[in-house]
Structure formats: structure tokens, C-alpha cells
A and B are shown apart, each in its own frame.
Chain A
Amino acid sequence: MLNIRRISTSRWWSKKKNWILFIVFIFLVFVRISKGSIYKDFYYFISKPFWPGPYQKEIILKSIEQESLIKLNLLKNDNIRLREILSLQKSLDNDNISAAVISRKTGSWWRQIILNKGSKDGVEIGSTVIGPGGLLGRVNNTSLFTSSVILLTSPESKVGVWLDRTQINGLMIGLGDEYPSLILYSKDADIKVGDFVSSSPASTLFPPNIPIGIVQSIDKSSQAKKIAKISLLAKPQVIDWVQILRVKIE
């Protein structure tokens, strides 16, 4: 009798500590599966007093004005081209959502920002996020009050882009630093330092003609393709307010 009792108390399930550990583990697995929604919502509430104030509006309006001028020029060119070729992507603009950046990871491996608008405000996964200057990234995950945006500089980011001067499509990949690389799959592609890069009309992820960046340098070592470093127009490390585009790409 005594022996049976001793064995039964030495089993793992008879220890309270192990059960607590097991429950904590199950809870954390749930947190992992739900992609940290609970944690992000918790962070939303505790970071609320530190959100950017309205005094930044003026600076942002100035940047938006500059961005609008570039966009207008691009749209004019695009319009002329579209009148000639009628089989291009169309985008339908609806209303946009303004959101504040409440968390920012712009260094190291994880390049993402968290915004103070979530599924409650109508933010959907895949929505395009722009800031003063141009394209920032895509919404990759939403919780009730927040949404996480994967930045163009993230190693996970691959975006179809368009060289405005020569009208060539290329692929822009994030490398985990401030300057993503643009790959043009042709060794004869005409590209120069200072060329303007925008989102491609052929892209299925982003609406066309959103300003992205400027060619900063060109790597000439590759034989079969051309690789260039892009300096982004929108700087996620300093932007506090962004726009989430509710755009349907057809």
C-alpha cells in the first residue's frame, strides 16, 4: 500500500508545479498561434499615453504635398500610356484610414511597425500602408485594436516595382538593412543612379504608381542581371502617422 502511494505521488501529473508549467505552455502556444493578438492589444493600452501628438501634422502635410506632386506627375504619364494600351491593372480608391505608429522595429532582423488601428476599424490583411514620401509596406497581421505592417526593408518583403524613366518591371527585395535591392532580370536594362522607382502596374499586391524610392547605386558585378540599391522615400524610422489604403486591386 505504502509502495503504491509512493509511486503515485512521484508521477509527473501529481505535481502541481508541472501542471502550472503545462498550462502556461498551452497558453503561450495559444498566444503564438494567435500571433500575439492579446499581447499587442495589451501593448496598445499601455502605450496609449505615449502616442505621437497632433503637432506633427504640419510636417506631415508638407511631406504629403511633395508626395502628391510626384504622384500627380506619375499619374499624368500613366494616363497617357493607359490611353494607348487599354489592358492595364485598374485600382478603385475608397476611403483611407489614418493610423499612428505605436511600435517600430526598424533595425536588426525584424522590420515591422505596429499601428493603432485594427480589425475593429476595418483594417484588412494585405492592405497597403503609405507614409509621407510613399510606400511603407503591407499589413500582414491584425488584432482587434492593432495591425502589424511588414516593411519594404524586411528580408520577407518582395515587391514588384517599376522604373519610371525606362518603364521596366523589376523585383525589389528587402535585405534587413535600410536599402532594399532592385533586381532587373536583363543585363541590358537601362538603369541610372537617380532613377525613380514606383509600384508596378503589373503588381497584384500593391496599387500602381505609389512612389517607393530612388536608385542609389548600381552593382555591375552580376553578368545576367542588374542589381541596384534603392534609397526609400518614406523613412519608417521617423514616421509617426501613416495611411492605410483600402484599395481593391482588380
Chain B
Amino acid sequence: MNKFFTKKFSIIIFIFVPIMFLWHPNWLGFVGFQPYWPLFWLLPWSMINGSINGLILGLFLGLILDSLTLDNNFTQIPGLMLCGFWFGRIKLHSDFLVGHFRYGFICALGSFLCGTLYFSQILFKNFSDSTFLLFIPSIQNILAEVFLTGFFAPLICSQLFRIFKFSGRN
């Protein structure tokens, strides 16, 4: 049982990604905004398992998260798949400190990519004369999410990376 848990730790944490997404804890956010949780799991996992696995798990994460949100017209799948593929091509940095900050930078860029793709879908769907009303709140949403994701990533991703690597070795 113990061996199972150490070996499948990445899968157990994978199940917790949608729960964090649903839970939306206010004390981990900032003025109602939250970091983009799926990227914290996807980055270390893709770095260890490569681009193709990152792409597939990006698809799986997207499918689950889409099913939990009500917006049937918009999807998170393209952003997560692209991020999964891109994260798989990133190698670990030798410098400990630079590596930590790199997690933050990469996750912030990934969050920006996902946010922009999601926003472009909203724009495409609601294209009318009142579209301009959406711009300011949407840009605020993207920037807040980018900031928070980049802020938390060094801490969470580095820990998850160590755990995944350790569980993979066992």
C-alpha cells in the first residue's frame, strides 16, 4: 500500500488539481483571484515525462476542468495541451536559485498563454458592439492570474518536481 502511494503520487496529486480548482481557497488568492492551479502540476510532470506525455495529460486535465466549469462554449484544452507540450521540452537548470525563479517565469508565461487563448474564445463568441466592455476586466483577469501563478510556482513546482522524481525512482 505504502509502495503504491509513493509510486503513484503524481496521479494522486493529479486528482487533487480539479479539487483545488473547485475549492478556490480565498486565503491563497488575492482580491478574489487565484493562481492557475493546473500548471503547477503540469510543469514538473511534463519536465520529467516529456512533451508527448505533457500534451496528453494537458488534454486530460483540460477535459476534467472543462467539465467542472459552466462555460460550454469555451475550453481550456488548447492552452493546457500547448503548455504540456512546451513544458516537456524544458530541461532542469543546474543553478538551484535560477531554477526556482525559472519555474515562476515559465508558469507565468503558461498562464498568460492559457488566459489569452481563453479570452480570444470569449471575444470570438461574443463579438458584437459591446465587445469593448470585456477588454479591461479580461486583461485584469489575465494579469492577476499571471502574477499569482508566477508568485506561487517556484515554491509549489519545485516541491512537486522533487516528489515526482522521487516517486518515479521508486
Contacts and interface: CB of A to CB of B under 8 A. Distances in A.
Interface string B61-72: 001101111110
Query: Interface residues of B toward A: which range?
Result: 35 or more
The interface residues of chain B, by DSSP majority, are classed as helix
B70 A148 contact: yes
A110 B67 contact: no
Contact of B32 (A32, A39, A43, A106): A106
Nearest to A175: B137
A227 interface: yes
A126 interface: no
B29 A173 contact: no
B141 interface: yes
Interface stretch (A22-30, A68-76, A88-96, A186-194): A22-30
A64 interface: no
B134 A40 contact: no
A47 B23 contact: yes
A80 interface: no
B71 A110 contact: yes
A21 B141 contact: no
Q: Which of A31, A32, A109, A178 has the most CB of B within 10 A?
A: A109
A45 B138 CA distance: 34
Contacts of A103: 22-24
Interface residues of A, number: 41
A155 B122 contact: yes
B155 interface: no
Interface of A: 21, 24-25, 28-29, 31-32, 34-36, 39-40, 43, 46-47, 103-110, 112, 114, 140-141, 148, 150, 154-156, 173, 175-178, 181, 183, 227, 237
Interface of B: 18-19, 21-24, 26, 29, 31-34, 56, 59-60, 63-64, 66-71, 73-74, 115, 118-119, 122, 126, 130, 133-134, 137-138, 140-141, 144-145
21 contacts: A36-B64, A39-B64, A43-B19, A105-B22, A105-B24, A106-B24, A107-B29, A107-B144, A108-B141, A108-B144, A109-B119, A110-B70, A148-B70, A156-B73, A173-B133, A175-B134, A175-B138, A176-B138, A176-B141, A178-B32, A181-B130
